[in-house]
Amino acid sequence: MTYGFTRKLLGSAAIVASLLVATAAPSFAATLKMAWAQDATGLDPHKQTAFSSIRLLELIYEPLVRLDADLKTVPAIATSWSFSEDAKTLTFKLDPKAKFHNGAPVTAADVKASFTRILDQATGAAARANYLSIEAMETPDEHTIVFKLSQPDVPLLTAMGSINAAIVPASEIAAGKIGTQAVGSGPFKLEKWEPNARETLVANSDWAGGKPGVDGIEIRVLPDENAILAALRAKQVDFALLNDPLVATLVPKVAGLTLNRKPVLAYHVLQLNPSRKPMTELKVRQAISCAIDRKDILDTALLGEGEVTGPLTMPGYRSDPSTLFCYSRDVEKAKKLMADAGYAGGFSATVIAATGEPPTAASEAQVIQSQLQEIGIKLDIKLMELNVYVDTWLKGDFDMAVALNGGRADPYSMYNRYWTKAGNLQKVANYIDDDLDSLMQKGRVETDPAKRREIFGAFDKHLAEVSPWIWLYTGYSYTAQQQNVQGYVPTPDGSLFGISKITLK
Q: Which residues of the chain have pLDDT under 70?
A: 1-29
Domain extents in the chain: 61-172, 264-476
Polymer length of the chain: 505
Distance (Å, whole) CA 440 – CA 505: 48
Distance in angstroms (rounded) separating the CA atoms of residues 36 and 490: 16
272 dihedral zone (left: phi>0; alpha: psi -120 to 50; beta): beta
What is the chain's mean pLDDT, rounded? 92
Nearest of 269, 312, 275, 289 to residue 395 by alpha carbon: 275
Q: 3-state class of 492 per DSSP?
A: coil
- As a dihedral over the C-alpha atoms of residue 384, residue 389, residue 395, residue 398, rounded to 10 degrees, the angle is 50
User: In angstroms, what CA-CA distances link 242 with 227, 261, 480?
Assistant: 11, 10, 7
pTM (2 d.p.)? 0.87
Strands 31-36 and 216-221, sheet pairing = parallel
* DSSP-assigned beta bridge partners for residue 357: none
Q: 50: which DSSP letter? A: S
CA distance 99 to 184: 8
Q: Which CATH architecture has domain 61-172?
A: Alpha-Beta Complex (3.90)
Handedness of CA 35, 39, 43, 44 (dihedral sign): negative
Q: Is 126 exposed, middle or buried (0-12, 13-18, 19+ CB in 10 A)?
A: buried
What is the DSSP code string of 253-301? Answer: GSTTEEEEEEEEEEEEEEEE-TTSTTTTSHHHHHHHHHH--HHHHHHHH
DSSP states along 403-424:
EEE---SSHHHHHHHHHSTT-T
Q: Which residues contact 366 (CB under 8 A, 6 or more apart)?
A: 381
Q: What is the pLDDT of residue 499?
A: 97
pLDDT at 2: 32
pLDDT reported for residue 357 = 79
**DSSP structure class, residue 99:** B
Closest CA to 311 of 413, 415, 436: 415
* Residues with Cβ within 8 Å of residue 175, at least 6 apart in sequence: none
Q: Are 20 and 338 in contact, with CB atoms under 8 Å apart?
A: no
The predicted structure's pLDDT at residue 505: 86
The CATH architecture of the domain made up of 264-476 is: Roll (3.10)
CB under 8 Å, gap of 24 or more: what pairs does 187-193 form? 187/59, 187/212, 187/497, 187/500, 188/59, 188/60, 188/212, 188/216, 188/217, 188/500, 189/60, 189/101, 190/43, 190/56, 190/60, 191/216, 193/40, 193/43
Give how far the C-alpha of residue 41 lies from the chain's centroid of Cα atoms, to the nearest Å.
14
CA distance 180 to 178: 6
Looking at the DSSP bridge assignments, the partners of residue 233 are none
Sequence-distant (≥ 6) Cβ neighbours of residue 182 within 8 angstroms: 43, 57, 60, 61, 101, 189, 190
Strand-pair partners of 481: 239, 258
d(CA 320, CA 323): 6
Q: What pLDDT does residue 447 have?
A: 86
Residues contacting residue 6 through CB under 8 Å, at least 6 positions apart: none
Q: If we measure between CA atoms, which residue out of 271, 209, 315 comes closest to residue 430?
A: 271
- CA 179 – CA 60 distance, rounded (Å): 12
Residue partners of 141: CB distance under 8 A and separation at least 6: 108
